[in-house]
Amino acid sequence: MRGWVLSSRMASATTQDEARRAFERALEIDPESVDARIGLGEVLVSGEDMEGGSNSLHQNITRAEQLLFEALERDPTRSRAHFVMGLIRRWQGRLPDSKIELEAAIALDPNQASGHRQLGVTLMFLGQPAAAILQLEKSTRLSPYDPFIALNFNALGRCHLFLGHVDEAIDLLRKARTTSPRYYFIHLNLAAALGLRGDLDEARAALAEGVKLRPGLNSLARLRATVVSNNVEYLRLREKTTEVGLRKAGMPEE
């Protein structure tokens, strides 16, 4: 399907919109299609507008959840359906349920690199960076040329930062930035790691680039408002690493 081809490319507003239209059309042609429901649900919760908050966020999640309920009702053995439901549950802040769905996706398809990546991200948000690293590294081994490999490096960098491995975190986040410099959060995470290590000039430059890409996230307060996890351990790790590093890089509180 055209939608799957488009959605597998590097995410951008244009390709995501084209993929959405393709899946919408597929669903019009075949209203019973499980694939179209899964694909459209995934596009709705994977676009760039999901990062940093969006006016359409709640609407997208609500619609995606209904599509995935319908897909799983028709075929509960679809690995990709459980994968997308795992993303939905994470956006809803239901992290244990996200973990369950992503584990189900991997059980049905152990070689699904994106499933291991997203399980790693959910484990990170659950305050389990060491367990997250195992999943993220497996995802990277399964698909070293994945078009979204920068997300692996970014999440790995964050997990190593949480564990106090600052040098390793910086190496991974630099690799993420080189691979895909258009993600604002990679620049902000790199700024935090560099700030923690005391490389303040480079940290300030990385911070400036991140804010340039997402001007609305120019303070710690605004950045906190985008956090999808309310897990106490995750918030503790984030506060003592990411937030400390960003303060040193020059990000204001308000």
Which residue's entry shows tokens 């059309």? 25
User: What's the Cα-to-Cα distance from 223 to each of 22, 166, 228, 238, rounded to whole Å?
Assistant: 33, 21, 11, 12
- All structural domains of the chain, each given as residue ranges with its CATH number in brackets, are 148-254 (1.25.40.10)
Instruction: List, in order, residues 6 or more apart from 127 with CB less than 8 Å away.
Output: 229, 231, 232, 233, 234, 235, 236, 237
Q: How high does pLDDT run on average in the chain?
A: 92
pLDDT of residue 56: 72
Task: Name the one residue in this structure whose structure tokens are 């799957």.
Answer: 4
CB 173 within 8 A of CB 157: yes
Q: Residue 188 carries which DSSP code?
A: H
Return the residue matching tokens 């997300």.
151
d(CA 230, CA 125): 8
Portion of the chain with pLDDT greater than 90, in percent: 86
**Long-range pairs for 53-56: beta carbons < 8 A, 24 or more residues apart:** 53/225, 53/226
- Residue of 187, 182, 183 lying closest to 170 (CA atoms): 187
**pLDDT lower than 70: segments of the chain:** 1-14, 47-55
